Amino acid sequence: MAIKTLEQFTAEAQTEIDALKTANGGAGMKASVNGVVREFTDAEYAQAVTDSAAFKLDSQDNDYKKARQSAYGIIGDQLDLLYHDMTADKGDKTGEWYKAVKKVKDDNPKPS
């Protein structure tokens, strides 16, 4: 997967938000202010583009980290694997701890 820039995500978000506007035949994005529902202002649409692009960039840059954290499991289990590898003289790439960590990294690659 190719790394995208904030500018590329902003262009994507702009296209997505433009498709939602009622001026383009979409349903529009609505705000409720004091019980009155109205379509977003131009400034609110611009902020929605900015927010969407920032969210996409954050997801690209950080989702793999969250997935890895979840997949690694608790540190006690990792240390137990490492301990057993060390006592079996497998403190290298043949050990179970290394294999487990490698699988997590392979399953959740860093974007490049």
Task: Band the pLDDT of 23: cuts 50, 70, 90.
Answer: confident
pLDDT at 27 over 90: no
pLDDT digits (tens, 9 = 90+) for 52-98: 999 999 999 999 999 999 999 999 999 999 999 999 999 999 999 99
Long-range contacts of 68-72 (CB under 8 A, 24+ apart): 68/104, 68/105, 68/108, 71/104, 71/107, 71/108, 72/101, 72/104
What's the pLDDT at 64?
96
pLDDT digits (tens, 9 = 90+) for 95-111: 999 999 999 999 999 98
Q: What is the pTM of this model?
A: 0.77
